[in-house]
Amino acid sequence: MEKFLRLYKWKIVGVLIGAIAGFAYWYYIGCNSGTCVIQSNWHTSTLYGGLIGYILPKSPVKSTAKKEVDNQNEEK
């Protein structure tokens, strides 16, 4: 579990911040007419924010995973 959290902590933080930002966007700005696909419902706005939060942060997962694989190959 520690390894998972170490590898994906920035992705998890990004999803949480994005989801909070998506909900805040719906709450404060939103779309009253209901014609806006993303902004009219809190759940779509929150999920979209979480998705953006997952995509945007720079992920150290690849570099860390690559280093671990390189270290394992050197040991053999």
- Give the pLDDT of residue 47: 93
**Assigned domain for 50 exists:** yes
**Assigned domain for 67 exists:** no
- DSSP state, residue 37: T
The number of domains in the chain is 1
Range of the domain at 26: 16-60
Report the chain's C-alpha Rg in angstroms.
Answer: 18
Condensed to tens digits (0 to 9), the pLDDT of residues 46-74 reads 999 999 999 887 655 555 555 665 666 66
**Assigned domain for 26 exists:** yes
**Assigned domain for 68 exists:** no
Condensed to tens digits (0 to 9), the pLDDT of residues 7-42 reads 888 888 999 999 999 999 988 988 777 778 777 888
**Assigned domain for 54 exists:** yes
Q: What is the pTM of this model?
A: 0.66
**Assigned domain for 1 exists:** no
**Assigned domain for 65 exists:** no
**Assigned domain for 56 exists:** yes
Q: How far is CA 15 from CA 1, 2, 29, 76, in A?
A: 18, 19, 20, 37
